[in-house]
Structure 1
Amino acid sequence: MSGPNNEFDPVEVTPLKAEEVEAMTEAALAAVAAATDLDALKQVRIEHTGDRSPLALANREIGALPPQARKDAGQRVGKARGAVNQALAARQAVLEAEHEERMLVEETVDVTVAVDRRPRGARHPLTTGAERIADVFVAMGWEIAEGPVLEAEWLNFDALNLGPDHPARTMQDTFWTDPAENHVVLRTHTSPVQARTMLTRTPPIYVACPGRVFRTDEYDATHSPMFHQVEGIAIDEGITMAHLKGTLDHFAAAMFGEGISTRFRPSFFPFTEPSAEVDLVCFVCRGTAVDADGATCRTCRGEGWIEWGGCGVMNPRVLVACGVDPERYTGFAFGMGIDRTLMFRHGVEDLRAFFEGDVRFATAFGTEI
């Protein structure tokens, strides 16, 4: 019967030979040192410390050795594996530090650099235009007033000296609501806001009224059934046509540049007497009727003037209807299209561009607040 093999030489198990363990260790340490980033180091960890790594396979061979040989082999392999794990930990710390430093450099955001992001949208030019006009009058000490777009017939017509037989009351110009006996219309101008103001305030009154208005016009390049107006009234003691002229000259210069003035042409409006059409000097040719090349100015068509709106001294009948004493107070009123003003100011040729909702059109006007 054979006894235990006390003469067994452990060096005959190749993976456990001292030179083999040393070679495995050196290969692992070299791979750790060569790893240039965390992903590469992760692969090295798998290859040299994983279940199928050379040192892990060598460690499994220890169990096949006789008891007297296991101690030396275990110490040899354990020392090698410890050295590799220490090298991995040290390299991990170095690479993580390098990664953080690189992130600080590569991902730094300079908040002073202008962004190049595409804006989602833009404020509508009619909105910013109305606000710009309001700022002009507020700077002169005026107030801004607003009113409903669904308006009583009396405020829209009767209070403004537009009698029952006036052509503007017909369906050709006005949107009437059902039932007709309610006498409610979509306002055809912002003048009802002026009437409401006179009915609720005591002069002196200086008020501008921007807003939407509605008329049964065709929808084309120069007309729309919904458009925007700004109207203004000034009621005080001693108000004259000269005050009206000065106000509109200042308004024109604020909108179209210094040196732009206005002129009056006799006209008729039921709510003012005397009344006038307002022309402003052409802001392109400055009234010369020719452009820089000597050709006829296309903007004013050689006239030197551009029609802008209507105005006049407040009709005493309107003052009486709205509870203002015409013996003590006088006033003036004016009205201009905001859409038309912006078309002049920015060279827009088709009114429909304001209402089609194309953000590219709105963005061209900027997004100022």
Structure 2
Amino acid sequence: MSGPNTDYDPVEVTPLKADQVEAMREAALTAIADAADLEALKQVRLDHAGDRSPIALANREIGALPPQARKEAGQRVGQARGAINQAIAARQAVLEAEHEERMLVEETVDVSLPTTRRRRGGRHPLTLQSELIADLFVAMGYEVAEGPVVEAEWLNFDALNLGPDHPARTMQDTFWTEPADDHVVLRTQTSPVQARTMLTRTPPIYVVCPGRVFRTDEYDATHSPMFHQVEGLVVDEGITMAHLKGTLDHFASQLFGDGITTRFRPSYFPFTEPSAEVDVKCFVCRGGEGVAECRTCRGEGWIEWGGCGVVNPRVLVACGVDPEVYSGFAFGMGIDRSFMFRHDLEDLRPLFEGDVRFSSAFGTEI
């Protein structure tokens, strides 16, 4: 029986010869040193330290050696692989530091330069004001009613006690559509929404109607051919002027601040009887000391706000409501005007010009 082959020289295995292993090591170190960036170093790692690299293939040859030859070959290859991995790690640290420095230089932002970033849009102040008013009335148990802005003449005028020959029609400069025989208008107030509500529902009715309205007014600091109104309607048994006064006092205090009340001045509207102009106590001077110098109310102590009254029985009859059983009240005021009061604006034109700088100045109040 033959003994172990003690004369085997592992150096004779070509991939494991000392000069071959050293050549692999030097080739890898040179390639690592020449890697100019992280992407190049990644390729060097694959070529000289990956599973198919020369040093990895040489390492596989160790298993084919007899036990007494494996130790020396393993040490030789292991030292070379360790040197390659250390060199890769060191070069990667250097390249990463260079990359970060380059990014700081190339991606530097001069924060003192004027920005080219577009301003973020905001919800329009009149939209926020309309929603605030609607929320106030919803909290009182009302519902929000809406209707079309292109309206039938009958609903805009006749149903509201404004017949074809009624002189009050001349008080409202109306946009008429063509042909005129269609009898269609751009609504001059949101009152047609109230008429639609009474025609389709059975009392009790508690609704508030915000929306756009149109009149052929000149466009200036205080007038616009398109503006916004909010109107309210209550139809129920036993409704009186006292209910109207209490409602508007609460509305005024919620919109302009605690302690703000209203006063009524006799007036005329075809759709209410009796009718009144509504003034709100000046929320700046509060109608007290210093009223003469107040710019908001111009020394009056009160600000004209809108119109109101008890619903005319003729309107109830036209909309199918029995005036012997039910009564009601209605009111209306400009949302744009209320907004100008709250924010001390003297010109309403910025409300309609679409400048985001104007809208963003009022935040995101809801």
- Alignment TM-score, normalising by the size of structure 1: 0.72
Per-residue CA deviations over 1:25-45 (Å, capped at 9, x if unaligned) read: 7xx69x97xx9x9759959x7
Alignment of 1:20-59 (within 5 A): 42=41
Do the aligned residues in 1 keep the contact of 2:152 with 2:185 (CA within 8 Å)?
Answer: yes
Question: Deviation at 1:97?
Answer: 10
Hey, what's the Cα distance between the residues in 2 that align with 1:123 and 1:219? 23
1:85 aligned partner, one-letter code: I
Do the aligned residues in 2 keep the contact of 1:289 with 1:303 (CA within 8 Å)?
Answer: no
Alignment of 1:100-179 (within 5 A): 120-170=120-170, 173-179=173-179
Instruction: Note closer, same or farther for the CA distance 1:237–1:85 as it changes in structure 2 (3 Å cut).
Output: same
1:123 aligned partner, one-letter code: R
Do the aligned residues in 2 keep the contact of 1:289 with 1:297 (CA within 8 Å)?
Answer: no
Per-residue CA deviations over 1:126-185 (Å, capped at 9, x if unaligned) read: 111111000000000011100011111111001101121234535970000111111000
1:134 aligned partner, one-letter code: A
Question: Deviation at 1:89?
Answer: 3.2
Do the aligned residues in 2 keep the contact of 1:289 with 1:304 (CA within 8 Å)?
Answer: no
In structure 1, the residue matched to 2:105 is none
Do the aligned residues in 2 keep the contact of 1:289 with 1:300 (CA within 8 Å)?
Answer: no
SS in 2 for 1:209: strand
Hey, what's the Cα distance between the residues in 1 that align with 2:178 and 2:226? 19
SS in 2 for 1:229: strand
Instruction: Note closer, same or farther for the CA distance 1:244–1:81 as it changes in structure 2 (3 Å cut).
Output: same
Hey, what's the Cα distance between the residues in 1 that align with 2:127 and 2:290? 33
Residue from 278, 296, 300 that aligns with 1:299: 296
Question: Deviation at 1:81?
Answer: 7.3
Alignment of 1:235-254 (within 5 A): 235-254=235-254
SS in 2 for 1:217: coil
Instruction: Note closer, same or farther for the CA distance 1:83–1:329 as it changes in structure 2 (3 Å cut).
Output: closer
In structure 1, the residue matched to 2:197 is 197
In structure 1, the residue matched to 2:214 is 214
Residue 290 of structure 1 pairs with residue 287 of structure 2: no
Do the aligned residues in 1 keep the contact of 2:41 with 2:92 (CA within 8 Å)?
Answer: no
Do the aligned residues in 1 keep the contact of 2:119 with 2:356 (CA within 8 Å)?
Answer: no
Residue from 311, 334, 337 that aligns with 2:334: 337
In structure 2, the residue matched to 1:59 is none
Question: Deviation at 1:90?
Answer: 3.9
Hey, what's the Cα distance between the residues in 1 that align with 2:143 and 2:278? 22
Hey, what's the Cα distance between the residues in 1 that align with 2:285 and 2:357? 29
Question: Deviation at 1:331?
Answer: 0.6
Do the aligned residues in 2 keep the contact of 1:176 with 1:184 (CA within 8 Å)?
Answer: yes
Question: Deviation at 1:353?
Answer: 0.7
Question: Deviation at 1:87?
Answer: 2.4
Hey, what's the Cα distance between the residues in 2 that align with 1:185 and 1:166? 17
In structure 2, the residue matched to 1:311 is 308
In structure 2, the residue matched to 1:362 is 359
In structure 2, the residue matched to 1:86 is 85
In structure 1, the residue matched to 2:280 is 280
2:303 aligned partner, one-letter code: I
Question: Deviation at 1:207?
Answer: 0.7
SS in 2 for 1:344: helix
Long gaps (5+) in structure 1 = 1-17, 50-77, 100-116
Question: Deviation at 1:328?
Answer: 1.0
2:314 aligned partner, one-letter code: R
Do the aligned residues in 1 keep the contact of 2:145 with 2:207 (CA within 8 Å)?
Answer: yes
Q: Percent identity?
A: 72
1:348 aligned partner, one-letter code: L
Per-residue CA deviations over 1:193-212 (Å, capped at 9, x if unaligned) read: 00011111111111110000
Hey, what's the Cα distance between the residues in 2 that align with 1:231 and 1:277? 14
- Alignment TM-score, normalising by the size of structure 2: 0.72
Hey, what's the Cα distance between the residues in 1 that align with 2:152 and 2:231? 18
Hey, what's the Cα distance between the residues in 2 that align with 1:132 and 1:118? 28
Hey, what's the Cα distance between the residues in 2 that align with 1:326 and 1:199? 14
Hey, what's the Cα distance between the residues in 2 that align with 1:152 and 1:276? 27
1:151 aligned partner, one-letter code: E
Residue 321 of structure 1 pairs with residue 318 of structure 2: yes
In structure 1, the residue matched to 2:61 is none
Question: Deviation at 1:288?
Answer: 1.4
Long gaps (5+) in structure 2 = 1-18, 49-76, 99-116
Quote the RMSD (CA, aligned, Å): 3.8
Instruction: Note closer, same or farther for the CA distance 1:180–1:250 as it changes in structure 2 (3 Å cut).
Output: same
SS in 2 for 1:283: coil
